[in-house]
């Protein structure tokens, strides 16, 4: 999606409905969720309701909590990167389109994670370990050839690339995963 205040909501619309055209409805729903439950999203301060009402207007830049509200409303998996300074330092470009998550890590290569919903599989292309196909077995993504787990491999490889301990298992559960 091109940049600007609508791009996040257009991306949400694209993911949910296959078209960016319903971004204003999604923007409205997210703003209402944040207005009704400010404590749930740790929103406080003066004029927070006024600021959240402005979020309903087209072109307004969203707040980070809009992503969490969208994940809660749509009951989907949310992947947060808490080391954003590291990501910026490494020129990371992350895109998600048509079920494919692409992480371009500059000189470190590109990860492609492709969700195959009908087969309950994820296909991973890693610049460090190569291609692998993971199956959803007993609430986890498992590589059948060596019984390894997707999150463990990604945690290990991203920790190596960013020279920082990253444990994706601390932040992700599969109970909300849409297949």
List the structure tokens of 118: 């009908």
Q: Residue 45's pLDDT is what?
A: 84
Residues 71-86: what's their mean pLDDT?
57
Residue 69, pLDDT score: 86
pLDDT tens-digit map of 157-167: 988 987 888 88
Are 134 and 125 in contact by the 8 Å Cβ rule? The answer is: no
Report the pLDDT value the prediction gives residue 171, as an integer from 0 to 100: 61
Q: Note the pLDDT of residue 84.
A: 45
Residue 134 has a CB neighbour count (10 Å cut-off) of 22
| pLDDT, tens digit, 9 for 90 and up, residues 20-42 | 888 999 999 999 999 999 988 88
Task: For strands 148-149 and 140-143, give the pairing.
Answer: antiparallel
3-state secondary structure 22-57: HHHHHHHHHHHHHHHCCCCCCCCCCCHHHHHHHCCC
- Measure the CA–CA gap between 125 and 63, rounded to whole angstroms: 32
Q: What is the pLDDT of residues 167-178, one digit of tens each?
A: 887 766 554 444
Tokens of 113: 């994670």
pLDDT value of position 115: 84
Rounded to whole angstroms, the Cα distance separating 1 from 105 reads: 19
Domain with CATH 3.90.70.80 in the chain: 1-88
What pLDDT is attached to residue 15?
A: 76
- Give 67's pLDDT tier (boundaries 50, 70, 90): confident
Instruction: Look at residue 172 in the predicted model and tell me its pLDDT.
Output: 61
Mean pLDDT (the chain, rounded): 81
Any residues with CB less than 8 A from the CB of 59 and at least 6 apart, and which?
4, 5, 6
Compute the distance between CA of residue 83 and CA of residue 48 in angstroms, rounded to an integer: 26
Which residues in the chain are classed under CATH 3.30.920.10?
89-178
How many Å is the Cα radius of gyration of the chain? 18
Instruction: Return the CATH fold of 1-88.
Output: Cathepsin B; Chain A (3.90.70)
Beta bridge partners of 143: 148
pLDDT interval class at 142 (50, 70, 90): very high
C-beta neighbour count of 51 within 10 angstroms: 16
Look up the CATH number of domain 89-178. Answer: 3.30.920.10
pLDDT score, position 175: 44
Q: What is the pLDDT of residue 1?
A: 47
**Cα–Cα distance between 41 and 116 in angstroms, integer?**
32
């Amino acid at each position: 999606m091109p940049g600007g205040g609508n791009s996040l909501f257009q991306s949400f619309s694209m993911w949910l409905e296959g078209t960016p055209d319903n971004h204003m409805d999604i923007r409205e729903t997210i703003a209402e969720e944040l207005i009704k439950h400010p404590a749930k999203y740790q929103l406080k301060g003066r004029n927070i309701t006024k600021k959240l009402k402005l979020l309903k207007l087209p072109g307004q830049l969203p707040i980070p909590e809009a992503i969490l509200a969208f994940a809660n409303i749509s009951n989907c998996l949310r992947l947060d990167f808490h080391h954003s300074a590291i990501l910026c330092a490494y020129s990371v470009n992350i895109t998600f389109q048509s079920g494919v998550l692409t992480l371009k890590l500059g000189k470190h290569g590109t990860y492609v994670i492709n969700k195959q919903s009908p087969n309950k599989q994820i296909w991973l292309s890693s610049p460090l370990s190569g291609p692998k196909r993971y199956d959803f077995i007993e609430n986890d993504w498992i590589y059948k050839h060596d019984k390894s787990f997707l999150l463990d491999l990604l945690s290990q490889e991203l920790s190596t690339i960013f020279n920082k301990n990253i444990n994706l298992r601390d932040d992700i559960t599969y109970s909300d995963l849409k297949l």
